[in-house]
Amino acid sequence: MILEQVDLSKYTTYKLRGKGAVLVEPKNQTELLTLLSYIKQHQIPYKIIGGGSNLIFADDYKGILIRLTAFDHLKIEENMIHVGAGYPLLKLALKVSRMGYTGMEFATGIPGTVGGAVYNNSGAYGSDMGYIIESVLMITPELEIKRFYNRDLQFHYRTSFLKQNPGYVCLEANIVLKKGNKEEIMDIIEDRKKRRLMSQPLEFPSAGSVFRNPNEMSAGKLIEDLGLKGYQIGGAKISEKHANFIVTDGHATGKDIIEIIHHIQDKVKEKYHIDLILEQEIVE
């Protein structure tokens, strides 16, 4: 599928105003490789996007957006999960948890796709994708298909080999889980769901936590202590419920959010001499 002049608000959880020049959804690896070859040959900017749950488009995007929605295969063999990059992470986490597998409870509140989660090393509650990934099948910048194992993927707090090395594309992941007590697993998930509903502004468009937590500190607490809850620019503001969330009214621009991010970073640096690291990604 190829779409022109797409509405970016449909492809980011911030619901940002803006246009994308072209969006392509390849049907298979052959189509994706052909597209990437064309992009490389003509030096066209491009961006692989998943659920858009970690993206801030600074403006209209002039390049090609690629979604791997067709890469959504799933095969479960005992403790090994083979899953495509386009499979929704939350859907996968709930499915395997209901089957009595433990290890993905942390992901049952994280939107986006498996590929995006691998790219960002998404995590919560002291765990992340780096703890459960066995290997990842990728397209290299030379357009070769190659398998990378956990030791190669440089998983660290909210980052990975993919994030640090543009040009690689995640096609699928092998995830290793353990069998557990299904009732205990589901009790944990339900308890965490209730706590998220109480503490996070899930009723508004957002992209989750904006900043990484500094060592043994809470980014949200630092921002809250500066009295910045409710600070607003345009259609975006710092949540009154959780200070490490920026929420929008559905009519915000990427520039609104970026200005708030810079304001927070400046104030935290000025008061605490701490450089807050952005957990989300700004796409120029």
Average pLDDT, the chain: 96
* pLDDT of the residue at 237: 98
pLDDT given for residue 215 in this prediction:
87
CB burial of residue 276 (10 Å; 0-12, 13-18, 19+): buried
* C-alpha torsion angle, residues 251, 254, 259, 264 (rounded to 10): 90
Q: Which of 67, 172, 239, 279 is catalytic?
A: 279
25 catalytic per annotation: no
CA–CA separation, 259 and 248 (whole Å): 13
- For the question of residue 127 being annotated catalytic, the response is no
Q: Exposed e or buried b for every residue in 220-236, given b needs 16+ CB within 10 A? A: bebbbebebbebebbbb
**Residue 250: what pLDDT?**
84
**Amino acid identity of 247?**
V
The residue extents of the domains of the chain are: 2-67, 74-182, 203-283
Of residues 17, 53, 97, 158, which has the active-site annotation?
158
Contact 240, 231 (CB under 8 A): no
Query: How many CA atoms does the CB half-sphere of 74 hold within 13 Å?
Result: 13
Active site residue 279: yes
Architecture of domain 203-283: Alpha-Beta Complex (3.90)
- Output the tens digit of pLDDT for each of the chain's 284 residues: 899 999 999 999 999 999 998 999 999 999 999 999 999 999 999 999 999 999 999 999 999 999 999 999 999 999 999 999 999 999 999 999 999 999 999 999 999 999 999 999 999 999 999 999 999 999 999 999 999 999 999 999 999 999 999 899 999 999 999 999 999 999 999 999 999 999 999 999 999 999 999 988 999 999 999 999 999 999 999 999 999 999 999 889 999 999 999 999 999 999 999 999 999 999 98
The architecture (CATH level 2) of 74-182 comes to 2-Layer Sandwich (3.30)
Token code pair at residue 215: 């060592």
* The one catalytic residue among 97, 160, 206, 209: 209
Q: Which CATH number fits domain 2-67: 3.30.43.10, 3.40.50.10490, 3.30.1490.20, 3.30.70.20?
A: 3.30.43.10
Reported as type and span, the H/E element at residue 96 is: helix 89-98
